[in-house]
């Protein structure tokens, strides 16, 4: 048995010859015990490989030294911090620089990276069969009635019989853009930029209005109040949405309901079912979202998937490394009259990640070494900073076993629900604050270790099964205060 | 989440629990790494397509591995060069092996906790071998060179270490109350 079992390693290495493989298969079909040993071997080999992913860099080296000396690895069920975390904490426990808020700027490497991504996408498109199969294209010359330009697409597929738009095409009033899948972007002469996520059907009604029959459209309008064309409008089967100088998303869901989400600025919406009675439009501000039904009723949208409304550079992010861990968030606080939404960002946590839906504050590493390694690429939830004044109970829904993290402001008393069911990892994360109703002069900076205005301790809890986890309200403030953050990584 | 339909949510919840198990099955059935990755994607797509046929009274893991085996055999039938040497008897016996394995039926989080505990209990030689092969990611011939052993002896010693670990993990998982995560 032993001689044959060692073949498991050669099989997994890919170094087993075809003759040896045939012999192994033949033996296995006659001997269930051999198969059992192979199955056990591959499971353990796989577990060991994944174990390595938890142990990285300097932390890895230290763990390895301890392991070779007979160190007994993590025993998380007794509440003792992970050995790796303790070691990493020692590496991470550096003085927190307090810096003067400065203007945000793009670094050279970021611009270069964006250029490379753009070039790669263009090359991919040029050499794909799809390019060669393009239907005859519309002339790229602006016509008298053209009001927008087809500016870019990402993995766009067109339904049979529909027009295949190409980058540079001019789009006129009355023309339809039908997208089977992928993403497309239109730049309007009046200044609006509209990103369409398929499947979707959009008709241009005028130079400053579109009708979205289905799908998702995210629009950004700069300086709408100064635009000679006036405010930008999106019409759907259920409502009319009027932009007030902002970034907002509109989605027509099956059944005719419309979701309206405001990412910046504000919009007015008027349900069409009651428009005949001269209704007052309803205003949604940054961090608010509503679902409007065909009969004119509307309700709060509790959480928004960040990937559901692609725009700008987010249009290119179509693939993720793993399924989402956080799949829902809700609270017990808000009435329908306060339609704020939580924003769920899959694999979105990194330097300068937007921390709240109602502020422009960002998460950053507290020193130039950056965020703790275990947070990179985590799913996270942008919460409401205004909730620091209230006491919501937040429920996070996890799709799988996970490590759930809470970023808790060190300036506040730690509440019992946190200290009793979570453990302090010993790591910190910084909050780079932008302007707020009180601190008008604050500005966010880029990169870790600069412009850190508040330090949050990172607490963690291992959640063994998929399901819901309830988080309590914040404790008393000692000096400053801010709402906690939420993140998760698969276990 | 409000916009997720129920089918998608149920599928996602089930699939994330079983994807590692499907991957482990494919590692035994397909030696070529790139082909294995392609097959894994094909299996995920097929699972989504036939998800309506899944009987919730059965373990999703088992059903998913059955679907994966079918996909492998279909690929082998359509292009023998793609999945060489795989016989339907071999595929069936491996699938049955997973069905019998107590390790395959436990969530990976519990496996992980048990593994970490068992790593600490390994004899020194096994610990060194595992450290070199997995945590330093050395190829087996390099492990052999560094430990002044023949390649054959190193493969045997590694196989023995894996078996020790596997037995320990299995034992911990089968001992109710001894293994849990907070």
Give the model confidence (pLDDT) of A111-165 as tens digits: 333 333 333 333 333 333 332 333 333 333 344 478 898 888 888 888 887 888 8
Contacts within 8 Å (CB) and 24+ apart, A135-143: A135/A163, A135/A164, A137/A164, A137/A166, A137/A169, A138/A163, A138/A165, A138/A166, A138/A169, A138/A170, A139/A170, A140/A168, A140/A169, A140/A170, A141/A170, A142/A170, A143/A170, A143/A172
CB contact under 8 A, A29 and B90: yes
Residues 6+ apart with CB under 8 A from A277: none
The chain-wide mean pLDDT, for chain A, equals 75
Predicted pLDDT of residue A398: 94
For every residue of A105-168, DSSP letters joined together read ---HHHHHHHHHHHHHHHHHHHHSHHHHTPPPPPPSSPPTTEEEEEEEEEEEE--TTS----TT
Measuring CA to CA, which residue among B138, B129, B127, B130 is closest to residue A68? B127
Output A78 or B170, whichever has higher pLDDT: B170
> Tokens representing B95?
């699938």
Q: Which residues contact A47 (CB under 8 A, 6 or more apart)?
A: B108, B111, B112, B115, B169
Higher-confidence position of A357 and A216? A216
Residues in chain A closer than 8 A to B135 (CB atoms) = 51-52, 55, 60, 64, 67
The residues in B 18-37 lying below 8 A from A, measured between CB atoms, are 19-20, 23-24, 27-28, 31-33
> Would the pLDDT of A287 be above 70?
yes
Choose, out of A2, A3, A39, A420, the residue to mutate when testing the contact with B (most B CBs < 10 Å): A39
> Cα–Cα distance between B108 and A403 in angstroms, integer?
13
Structure confidence at residue A28 (pLDDT): 82
> If you search the block for the tokens 């992928």, which residue do you land on?
A182
Q: Does the reported pTM lie above 0.80?
A: no
Residues of B in contact with A462 (CB under 8 A): 109, 181-182
Percentage of chain B beyond pLDDT 70 is 87
The position carrying tokens 């295949």 is A164
Shortest Cα distance from B136 to chain A (angstroms)? Answer: 9
**Chain A hits for B85, Cβ within 8 Å:** 18, 21-22, 25
Provide mean pLDDT across the span A35-49: 90
Residues of chain B with Cβ-Cβ distance to A49 below 8 Å are: 134
Query: How many beta-carbon contacts under 8 Å exist across A and B?
Result: 214
Q: What is the ipTM of this complex?
A: 0.91
The pLDDT value recorded for residue B137 is: 82
Gap between the Cα atoms of A363 and A407, Å rounded = 10
Question: Chain A residue closest to B120 (CA)?
Answer: A72
Residue A256 has pLDDT above 70, yes or no: yes
Q: Which of A411, A420, A412, A401 is nearest to A459 (CA)?
A: A420
CA dihedral A277, A283, A287, A289 (to 10 degrees): 10
Contacts of A426 (CB under 8 A, 6+ apart): A81, A85, A86, A88, A89, A92, A93
Residue from the list A9, A291, A466 with its beta carbon closest to the beta carbon of B13: A466
Q: Which of B1, B90, B110 sits opposite A327 (nearest CB)?
A: B1
What is the percent of chain A where pLDDT is above 90?
Answer: 21
Whether B47 has its CB under 8 Å from any CB of chain A: the answer is no
Nearest C-alpha neighbor of A260 from the set A276, A278, A242: A242
Distances (CA, A) of A37 to A41, A44, A187, B30, B127: 6, 11, 61, 18, 20
List, in sequence order, every beta strand (DSSP E) within A253-361: 258-264, 266-271, 282-285, 289-292, 298-300, 303-305, 326-331, 342-345, 353-354
More reliable by pLDDT, A456 or A255: A456
Contacts of A352 (CB under 8 A, 6+ apart): A362, A363, A364, A432, A444, A446, A447
**Higher per-residue pLDDT: B167 or B76:** B167
Which two tokens mark A99? Answer: 């810096």
Q: How far apart are CA A345 and CA B53, in angstroms?
A: 32
Q: How crowded is residue A466: how many other Cβ atoms within 10 Å of its Cβ? A: 19
pLDDT digits 0-9 by tens, A378-389: 999 998 887 766
**Is A77 near chain B, with CB under 8 Å?**
yes
In this prediction, residue A89 has a pLDDT band, given cuts at 50, 70 and 90, of very low
The neighbour count for residue A407, using CB atoms within 10 Å, is 27
Which of the listed ranges A294-298, B129-133, B171-175 does the model predict with the highest average pLDDT? B129-133
The reply to whether B164 touches chain A by the CB within 8 Å rule is no
A381 forms beta bridges with A344, A486
Mean pLDDT of A161-177: 86
Average pLDDT over residues A254-278: 79
3-class state of residue A388 by DSSP? helix
Backbone φ and ψ for A408, nearest 5 degrees, come out as: -115, 125
Write the pLDDT tens digit of every residue in A375-428: 988 999 998 887 766 667 889 999 999 999 999 988 888 888 998 899 888 888
Q: What is the pLDDT of residues B74-94, one digit of tens each?
A: 887 776 555 666 788 889 999
**pLDDT value at residue A444:** 76
Of B84, B86, B182, the CB nearest to A77: B182
Quote the CA–CA distance of A229 and A208 in Å, as a whole number: 6
Query: Could you tell me whether strands A258-264 and A266-271 are parallel, antiparallel, or unpaired per DSSP bridges?
Result: unpaired
The region of weakest confidence among A33-37, A62-66, A402-406, B102-106 is: A62-66
- What's the pLDDT at A438? 61
pLDDT of residue A110: 39
Which has more pLDDT, A119 or A302?
A302
DSSP letter for each residue of A181-235? EEEEEEEETTS-EEEEEEEEEEEEEETTEEEEEEEEEEEE-SSGGG-TT---EEE
- Euclidean distance between CA atoms A223 and A191, whole angstroms: 8
């Amino acid at each position: 048995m032993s001689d044959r079992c060692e073949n498991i390693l050669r099989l997994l290495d890919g170094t087993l010859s075809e003759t040896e493989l045939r012999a192994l298969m033949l033996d296995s079909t006659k001997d269930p015990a051999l198969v059992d040993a192979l199955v056990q071997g591959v499971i353990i080999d796989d577990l060991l490989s994944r174990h390595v992913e938890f142990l990285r860099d300097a932390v890895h080296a230290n763990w390895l030294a301890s392991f070779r000396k007979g160190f007994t690895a993590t025993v998380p069920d007794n509440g003792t911090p992970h050995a790796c975390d303790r070691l990493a904490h020692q590496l991470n426990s550096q003085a927190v620089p307090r810096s003067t808020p400065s203007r945000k700027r793009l670094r050279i490497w970021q611009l270069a990276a964006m250029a490379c991504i753009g070039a790669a996408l263009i090359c991919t498109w040029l050499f794909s069969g799809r390019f060669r199969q393009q239907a005859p294209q519309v002339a790229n010359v602006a016509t008298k009635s053209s009001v927008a330009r087809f500016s870019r697409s990402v993995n766009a597929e067109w339904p049979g019989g529909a027009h295949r738009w190409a980058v540079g095409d001019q789009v006129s009033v009355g023309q339809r853009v039908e997208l089977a899948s992928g993403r497309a972007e239109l730049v309007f002469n009046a200044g609006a930029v509209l990103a369409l996520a398929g499947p979707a059907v959009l008709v241009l009604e005028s130079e400053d209005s579109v009708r979205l029959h289905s799908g998702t459209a995210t629009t950004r309008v700069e300086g709408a109040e100064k635009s000679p064309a006036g405010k930008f409008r999106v019409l759907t089967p259920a409502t009319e949405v009027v932009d007030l100088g902002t970034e907002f998303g509109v989605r027509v869901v099956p059944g005719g309901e419309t979701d309206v989400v405001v990412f910046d600025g504000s919009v007015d919406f008027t349900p069409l079912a009651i428009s005949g009675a001269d209704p007052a439009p309803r205003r949604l501000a940054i961090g608010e979202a509503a679902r409007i039904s065909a009969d004119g009723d509307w309700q709060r949208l509790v959480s928004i998937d960040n990937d559901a409304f692609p725009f700008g550079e987010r249009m290119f992010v179509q693939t993720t490394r793993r399924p989402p861990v956080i799949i829902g968030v809700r609270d017990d606080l808000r009435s329908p009259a306060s339609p704020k939404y939580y924003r769920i960002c899959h694999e979105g946590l990194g330097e300068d990640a937007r921390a709240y839906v109602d502020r422009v504050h960002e998460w950053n590493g507290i020193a130039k070494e950056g965020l703790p390694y275990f947070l990179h690429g985590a799913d996270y939830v942008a919460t409401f900073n205004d909730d620091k004044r209230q006491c919501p109970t937040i429920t996070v829904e996890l799709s799988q076993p996970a490590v759930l993290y809470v970023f808790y402001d060190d300036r506040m008393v730690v509440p019992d629900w946190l200290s009793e069911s979570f453990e302090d990892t010993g790591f910190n994360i910084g909050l780079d604050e932008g302007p707020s109703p009180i601190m008008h002069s604050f500005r966010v900076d880029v990169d870790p270790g600069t412009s850190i205005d508040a330090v949050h301790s990172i607490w963690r809890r291992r959640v063994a099964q998929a399901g819901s986890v309830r988080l309590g309200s914040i404790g008393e403030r000692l000096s400053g205060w801010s709402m906690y953050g939420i993140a998760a990584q698969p276990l | 989440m409000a916009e997720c339909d129920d089918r998608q949510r149920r599928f996602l919840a089930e699939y994330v629990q079983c994807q590692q198990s499907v991957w482990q099955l494919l590692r035994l059935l397909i030696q070529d790494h790139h082909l294995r990755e392609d097959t894994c994607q094909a299996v995920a797509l097929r699972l989504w397509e036939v998800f309506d046929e899944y009987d919730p009274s059965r373990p999703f893991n088992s059903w998913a591995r059955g679907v994966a085996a079918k996909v492998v055999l279909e690929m082998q039938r359509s292009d023998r060069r793609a999945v060489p040497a795989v016989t339907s008897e071999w595929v069936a016996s491996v699938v049955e092996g997973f069905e019998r394995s107590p390790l395959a039926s436990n969530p990976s989080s519990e496996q992980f906790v048990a593994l970490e505990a068992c790593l600490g209990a390994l004899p020194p030689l096994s610990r060194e071998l595992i450290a070199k092969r997995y945590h330093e990611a050395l190829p087996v011939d390099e492990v052999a060179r560094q430990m002044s052993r023949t390649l054959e002896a190193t493969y045997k010693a590694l196989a023995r270490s894996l078996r020790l670990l596997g037995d320990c993990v299995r034992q911990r998982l089968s001992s109710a109350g001894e293994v849990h995560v907070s």
